[in-house]
C-alpha cells in the first residue's frame, strides 16, 4: 500500500524516485522534481495522508488493537489517528553528483548497518 501511495503521489506531483528503503520505523526516499511547481511538502502530504487513511480503515475493519495504540489524545476530548511521526521529516536539496551518490549509498546501506539484511540490491 505504501508503494502504491508513493507511486501515485510521484506521478501526480511530477517527481521521480531515485532511491528508497523501507525501514521498520521510517522510510528513506530520494526524489527529484521532473517538472512542475510542486514542493516536497506537497509530495509528502500526497503520500502520507492517503496511506494513513487506508491503514486506519483496515485497522478499524479488523478491530485491531493497534488502532488504539495509534490514536493519540491531543487535548481533552480530542483524539487523532497518528500513523506518521510528528514533524515534516528531513529533506534537503542535493546539488552535486557526489552528494547524490553518497545519499544513494547511505539509503541502500541503512538496512545493512542495522543488521536487517546482509546485502543491498541496487
With cut-offs at 50, 70 and 90, classify the pLDDT of residue 122. low
- Domains assigned to the chain: 2-113 (3.30.70.1290)
Asked whether the predicted pLDDT for residue 49 surpasses 70, the reply is: yes
Summarize pLDDT for 62-82 with one digit per residue, the tens. Answer: 988 899 899 988 888 888 898
99-104 — which CB contacts under 8 Å span 24+ positions? 100/18, 100/30, 103/19, 103/30, 104/18, 104/19, 104/30
Average pLDDT over residues 43-66: 92
Amino acid at each position: 500500500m505504501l508503494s502504491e501511495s508513493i507511486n501515485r503521489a510521484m506521478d501526480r506531483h511530477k517527481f521521480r524516485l531515485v532511491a528508497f528503503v523501507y525501514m521498520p520505523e521510517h522510510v528513506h526516499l530520494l526524489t527529484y522534481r521532473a517538472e512542475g511547481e510542486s514542493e516536497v511538502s506537497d509530495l509528502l502530504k500526497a503520500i502520507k495522508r492517503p496511506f494513513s487513511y487506508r491503514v486506519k480503515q483496515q485497522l478499524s475493519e479488523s478491530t485491531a488493537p493497534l488502532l488504539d495504540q495509534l490514536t493519540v489524545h491531543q487535548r481533552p476530548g480530542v483524539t487523532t489517528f497518528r500513523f506518521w511521526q510528528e514533524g515534516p521529516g528531513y529533506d534537503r536539496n542535493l546539488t552535486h553528483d557526489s552528494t547524490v551518490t553518497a545519499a544513494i549509498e547511505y539509503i541502500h546501506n541503512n538496512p545493512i548497518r542495522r543488521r536487517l539484511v546482509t546485502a543491498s540490491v541496487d
